[in-house]
């Protein structure tokens, strides 16, 4: 497989080799960076008694952001509705909110010419059961129903932050166990992605809407947040980020078209390899979580997002409106640079990159030049496991050499982890079957149901 983006000068914000058209006149990756807004409820119960208030709040939030987007003459607006668990478990509730949002978006397109689209992201509730049932049972059925209902009720794009493999990755992250993390990502996660995205692409194809993309949020972002709290080393979080790329790529192999999910910080790799437009978040998502990649995350984005913000009142306006305004101005700057010349766009991209890259290994692995080097190696491998193995190896090599050459700061406490990660990566088996056999013989096997991932259990062999 060759890369969709062959050179650094083509690796820019706003431009993707495979742009996407969706919703009401919205185009992503075709030269203009679009703001993507996400919002959620303030602290409250969701039940029969509060449901009218929930509906009112969503109507208030969408009206607020659309009105401001029109006033600021935003070049377009992507709205993401990420359901809350109650709305996935009871898909009829999720559908009602989709309708409220879609109706408002249609109205703003008709009355104000605001190009827009609605991305619906049902949250993955399959781990309500433990061990998780990934392919059947009440939670999977409700999720699958919500995908179909959303498609019928006005969603223009479907996404998910899927959690297959999380059962083993959570513990692995706490214990800094890269081997177990890779098992969760490359063996369990990749298999679940195949199952899930085959289904999702089918739903979207039937409804003639866009199967957008997934995110390694449950893995890479968990590591990122733990690293921010100094609970795990940043070098480990950086390697896990790159190791999550092959898992997320599976969606595109199965037919997803992008834009990737905003919280998929592995997005630049997805764009380089699959050519899809990507949504990213960084300093704009400080309302949801803190980050050390606030600028660099923006460098090659096609949509620029706030992750999520609660409907709470700030001095100027409600928080979703404030978030939207910040995104619109960020996009306006990028689009102005791009309208100037390619050199201007490259200069802004490089400022975004250089302002973060040397300060944190998690930023370093998002450098466009580093992304292209590692992506090229990933693309040459035939399976998600082998891709993940090489991704982890390349990531730690890039970090180690940049640190040795004085181009990347790594804190003294983390230096011993570079050697530890290099050792662990070197010990990963060359054969996937050998790796699976080995992991199934450990207590890790008790944390998941092999059949739910299409893996034969030891007992049934």
Which residues bind to other proteins, rule: CB under 8 A?
Answer: 40-46, 84-86, 125, 127-128, 130, 170-171, 173-177, 222, 226, 229-233, 289, 310, 413, 417
Compute the C-alpha angle 264/267/268, nearest 5°: 155
Closest CB 392 distance from other proteins, rounded Å: 17
The residue among 72 and 86 lying less far from other proteins, judged by its C-beta, is: 86
DSSP character at residue 431: S
Closest CA to 91 of 120, 119, 63: 120
* Residue 100 beta carbon to other proteins: minimum distance, rounded to whole angstroms: 17
> Which residue number, 54 or 149, has a Cβ lying nearer to other proteins?
54
Cβ proximity to other proteins: between 98 and 319 the closer is: 319
Cβ at position 46, least distance to other proteins in Å: 5
Instruction: Give me the least distance between CB of 24 and other proteins, in Å please.
Output: 30
Q: In sequence order, which ranges of 178-259 are alpha helices (DSSP H)?
A: 178-182, 190-207, 222-228, 234-243, 245-253
Query: Residue 382's CB: how many other CB atoms inside 10 A?
Result: 8
b (16+ CB within 10 A) / e for 19-34: bbebbbebbbbebbbb
- Report d(CA 6, CA 8) in Å as an integer: 7
| DSSP codes of every residue in 220-243 | IIHHHHHHHTTSS-HHHHHHHHHH
> Smaller CB distance to other proteins: residue 221 or 387?
221
Q: Which is nearer to other proteins, 171 or 381 (CB)?
A: 171
Given a contact cutoff of 8 angstroms between Cβ atoms, the answer to whether 233 and 414 are in contact is yes
Q: How far apart are CA 291 and CA 220, in angstroms?
A: 12
Of 85 and 202, the one with the shorter C-beta distance to other proteins is: 85
Complex with other proteins: residue 27 or 124, whichever CB lies closer: 124
In 10 A of CB 331, how many CB atoms? 26
State which residue, 33 or 196, has the beta carbon closest to other proteins: 196
Q: How far is the CB of 384 from other proteins (least distance, A)?
A: 23
Query: Rounded to the nearest whole angstrom, what is the least distance from the CB of residue 367 to other proteins in the complex?
Result: 25
Which one, of 213, 160, 198, lies nearest residue 29 by Cα? Answer: 213
Which residue, 156 or 161, has its beta carbon nearer to other proteins? 161
The alpha-carbon radius of gyration of the chain (Å, integer) is: 21
Give the CA-trace dihedral at 81, 82, 88, 93, to 10 degrees: -30
Q: Angle at the Cα of 313 (from 64 to 310), degrees rounded to 5?
A: 75
> From the CB of 395, what's the least distance to other proteins, in Å?
18
Compute the least distance from the CB of residue 123 to other proteins, in Å. Answer: 8
Q: How crowded is the C-beta side of 295, counted as CA atoms within 13 Å? A: 14
Distance (Å, rounded) from C-alpha 229 to C-alpha 217? 17
**Closest CA relative to residue 186, chosen from 158, 140, 219:** 219
- Taking the least distance from each CB to other proteins, the nearer of 49 and 459 is 49
Q: How far is the CB of 42 from other proteins (least distance, A)?
A: 6
> Residue 300 to residues 15, 31, 275, 278: CA-CA distances in angstroms?
8, 11, 12, 8
At closest approach, how far in Å is the CB of 40 from other proteins?
7
- Give counts: helices (H), strands (E), the chain: 18, 9
- Of 230 and 407, which has the nearer Cβ to other proteins? 230
Cβ–Cβ contacts within 10 Å for residue 335, how many?
18
Nearer to other proteins among residue 226 and residue 238 (C-beta)? 226
Shortest separation between residue 102's beta carbon and other proteins, angstroms: 22
**15-22 and 26-30: which strand pairing?**
antiparallel
Extract the tokens encoding 52.
């009218």
Closest contact distance (angstroms) between CB of 50 and other proteins is 9
Q: Three-state SS for 32?
A: coil
């Amino acid at each position: 497989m060759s890369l969709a983006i062959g050179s650094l000068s083509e690796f820019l914000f706003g431009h993707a080799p495979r742009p996407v058209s969706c919703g009401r006149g919205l185009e992503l990756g075709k030269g203009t960076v679009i703001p993507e807004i996400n919002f959620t409820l303030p602290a409250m119960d969701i039940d029969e008694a509060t449901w009218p208030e929930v509906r009112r709040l969503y109507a208030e939030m969408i009206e607020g952001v659309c009105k401001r987007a029109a006033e600021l003459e935003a070049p377009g607006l992507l709205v993401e509705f990420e359901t809350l668990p109650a709305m996935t478990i009871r898909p009829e509730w999720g559908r009602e909110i989709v309708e409220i949002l879609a109706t408002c978006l249609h109205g703003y397109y008709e009355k104000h010419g605001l190009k827009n689209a609605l991305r619906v992201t049902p949250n993955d509730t399959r781990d309500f059961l433990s061990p998780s049932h990934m392919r059947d049972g009440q939670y999977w059925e409700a999720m699958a129903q919500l995908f179909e209902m959303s498609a019928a009720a006005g969603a223009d794009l479907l996404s998910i932050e899927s959690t297959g493999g999380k059962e083993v990755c959570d513990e692995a992250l706490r214990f800094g166990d890269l081997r177990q993390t890779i098992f969760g990502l490359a063996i369990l996660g990749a298999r679940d992605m195949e199952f899930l995205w085959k289904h999702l692409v089918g739903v979207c194809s039937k409804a003639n809407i866009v199967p957008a993309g997934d995110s390694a949020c449950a893995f890479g972002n968990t590591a990122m947040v733990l690293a921010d709290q100094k609970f795990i080393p940043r070098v480990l979080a950086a390697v896990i980020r790159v190791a999550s790329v092959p898992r997320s790529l599976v969606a595109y192999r199965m037919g997803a078209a992008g834009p990737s999910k905003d919280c998929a910080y592995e997005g630049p790799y997805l764009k380089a390899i699959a050519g899809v437009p990507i949504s990213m978040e960084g300093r704009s998502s400080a309302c949801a979580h803190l980050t050390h990649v606030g600028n660099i995350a923006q460098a090659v984005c096609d949509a620029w997002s706030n992750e999520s913000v609660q409907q709470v009142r700030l001095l100027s306006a409600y928080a979703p409106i404030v978030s939207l305004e910040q995104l619109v101005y960020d996009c306006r700057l990028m689009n102005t640079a791009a309208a100037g010349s390619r050199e201007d766009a490259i200069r802004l991209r490089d400022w975004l990159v250089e302002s973060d890259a040397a300060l944190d290994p998690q930023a370093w692995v998002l450098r466009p030049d580093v992304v292209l080097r590692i992506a090229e190696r990933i693309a040459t491998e035939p399976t998600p496991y082998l891709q993940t193995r090489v991704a982890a190896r390349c990531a730690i090599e890039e970090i180690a050499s940049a640190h040795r050459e004085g181009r990347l700061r790594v804190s003294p406490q983390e230096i011993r982890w570079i050697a530890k990660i290099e050792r662990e990566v070197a010990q990963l088996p060359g054969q996937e079957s050998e790796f699976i056999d080995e992991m199934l013989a450990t207590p890790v096997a008790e944390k998941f149901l092999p059949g739910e991932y299409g893996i034969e259990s030891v007992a049934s062999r």
